[in-house]
């Protein structure tokens, strides 16, 4: 008789959010977890959305659980996410004799859609979670928005269960006719333990970072931590901090991240007093908690951000 519930996870790549979750789930005595990764982004290279200065993550995202990288049709493990990614090995892995349920995030790539098809054909329950909201749907083209009311109710109901990650996500699921009986309240995973431990063990370094970032003893540091993309609205942050600095010279903006707008950001900052806003650039995962701790205020300027 089978002792453990066998959960298969099909996921794009190792992330700082989910790696610790797979590790924690694997510690449960009655659960057997196997993660199938579709690429090794963040491991062999940095996050390409963070620009040319990004590096592979410097924290362990693979230890403590069973995982396997899957090759695509080229016979290689992709180095970054691709919507056209299709991993043929899923045909053998997504099998009722090997798995009791499958978890995946979306239908964004061919491998995800192939997984959903195999689950449906082979009678394997499919559990899903994404961070979509009605607001985030607004970024799509007019043509796609016309198709959403027709396509989404059918597509989203291919899942047997949804783990919602907040009120707005639940509204999105209900809007597209996913019944409440399929929705279980969840959350978006954050490795809070790692952040707390890093800050507690590195108080002197936190103080040193704060001193380095400050332009005066009584600085008030406002932080922006994100990809430098239009959706994250970095220029809104810069303009707000520049205006605040004029009224209160203690105010200083600290920008951390990278991306397609980096050169434009440097040009914008060049027009401001150096004391107003500085761009630190890419900060790797092991140091991020220390930079958060060194700031007084975290600012979220995104046009939309799915997580509550």
* Structural domain ending residue among the three candidates 137, 168, 185: 185
- Please report, in tens digits, the pLDDT of each residue of the chain (308 residues total): 468 999 999 999 999 999 999 999 999 999 999 999 999 998 988 888 888 888 999 999 999 999 999 999 999 999 989 999 999 999 999 999 999 999 999 999 999 999 999 999 999 999 999 989 888 888 889 898 899 999 999 999 999 999 999 899 999 999 999 999 999 999 889 899 999 999 999 999 999 999 999 999 999 999 999 999 999 999 999 999 999 999 999 999 999 999 999 999 999 999 999 999 999 999 999 999 999 999 999 999 998 876 54
Structure tokens at 174: 């209900």
Domain co-membership, 159 together with 89: yes
Residue 287 CB neighbours (<10 A): 16
Write down the pLDDT at residue 121: 97
Domain co-membership, 155 together with 218: no
Q: Tell me the CATH number at 220.
A: 3.40.50.2000
The answer for residues whose C-beta is within 8 angstroms of residue 208's C-beta and 6 or more apart is none
Structure tokens at 292: 């958060």
Q: How far is residue 176's CA from residue 156's CA, in Å, rounded to a whole number?
A: 8
Domain co-membership, 41 together with 61: yes
* Structural domain ending residue among the three candidates 152, 185, 218: 185
Domain co-membership, 10 together with 136: yes
Write down the pLDDT at residue 2: 66
Question: Helices marked H in the chain — which ranges?
Answer: 19-26, 90-93, 110-122, 134-137, 142-156, 167-175, 192-201, 203-213, 234-247, 262-269, 288-294
Domain co-membership, 20 together with 145: yes
User: Is 143 inside any structural domain?
Assistant: yes
Q: What is the DSSP letter of 49?
A: G
Q: What residues are paired with 31 via a beta bridge?
A: 5
Q: Are 77 and 40 in contact (CB under 8 A)?
A: yes
Residue-wise pLDDT for 4-15, tens only, equals 999 999 999 999
Residue carrying the six token digits 């239908």: 107
User: Is 303 inside any structural domain?
Assistant: no
Q: How far is residue 239's CA from residue 245's CA, in Å, rounded to a whole number?
A: 10
**Helices and strands (DSSP H and E) totals, the chain:** 11, 11
Q: Are 55 and 83 in contact (CB under 8 A)?
A: no
Write down the pLDDT at residue 187: 87
Q: Are 253 and 273 in contact (CB under 8 A)?
A: no
Query: What total number of domains does the chain contain?
Result: 2
* Structural domain ending residue among the three candidates 158, 185, 212: 185
Q: What is the DSSP letter of 41?
A: B
User: Is 307 inside any structural domain?
Assistant: no
Structure tokens at 185: 């309240």
Q: What is the DSSP letter of 157?
A: T
Q: How far is residue 146's CA from residue 156's CA, in Å, rounded to a whole number?
A: 16
76: helix, strand or coil = coil
Write down the pLDDT at residue 222: 98
Write down the pLDDT at residue 307: 58
Q: Whole domain around residue 96: which residue ranges?
A: 5-185
Residue 161 CB neighbours (<10 A): 17
From residue 25, how far is each of 21, 189, 221 by CA, in Å? 6, 12, 37
Domain co-membership, 69 together with 159: yes
Domain co-membership, 132 together with 212: no
Domain co-membership, 200 together with 278: yes
From residue 190, how far is each of 11, 19, 92, 193 by CA, in Å? 17, 10, 32, 9
Residue 110 CB neighbours (<10 A): 17
């Amino acid at each position: 008789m089978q002792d453990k519930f066998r959960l298969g996870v099909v996921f794009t790549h190792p992330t700082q959010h989910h790696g610790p979750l797979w590790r924690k789930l694997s510690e449960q005595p009655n659960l057997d977890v196997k993660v199938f990764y579709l690429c090794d982004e963040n491991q062999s290279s940095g996050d390409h959305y963070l620009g040319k200065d990004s590096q592979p993550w410097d924290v362990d995202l693979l230890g403590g659980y069973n995982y396997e990288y899957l090759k695509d049709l080229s016979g290689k493990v992709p180095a970054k996410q691709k919507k056209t990614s299709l991993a043929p090995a899923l045909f053998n892995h997504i099998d009722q004799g090997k798995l009791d349920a499958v978890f995946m995030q979306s239908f964004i790539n061919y491998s995800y859609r192939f997984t959903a098809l195999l689950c449906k054909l082979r009678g394997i329950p499919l559990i899903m979670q994404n961070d979509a909201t009605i607001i985030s749907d607004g970024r799509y083209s007019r043509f796609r928005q016309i198709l959403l009311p027709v396509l989404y109710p059918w597509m989203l109901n291919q899942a047997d269960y949804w783990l919602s990650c907040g009120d707005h996500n639940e509204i999105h699921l209900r809007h597209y006719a996913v019944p409440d009986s399929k929705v279980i309240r969840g959350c978006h995973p954050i490795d809070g333990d790692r952040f707390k431990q890093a800050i507690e063990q590195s108080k002197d370094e936190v103080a040193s970072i704060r001193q380095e970032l400050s332009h005066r003893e009584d600085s008030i540091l406002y932080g922006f931590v994100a990809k430098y993309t239009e959706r994250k609205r970095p220029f809104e942050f810069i303009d707000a901090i520049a205006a605040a600095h004029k009224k209160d010279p203690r105010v200083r903006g600290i920008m951390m991240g990278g991306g397609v707008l980096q050169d434009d950001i440097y040009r914008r900052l060049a027009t401001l007093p150096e004391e107003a806003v500085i761009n630190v650039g890419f900060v790797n995962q092991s140091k991020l908690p220390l930079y958060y701790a060194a700031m007084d205020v975290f600012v979220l300027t995104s046009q939309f951000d799915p997580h509550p």
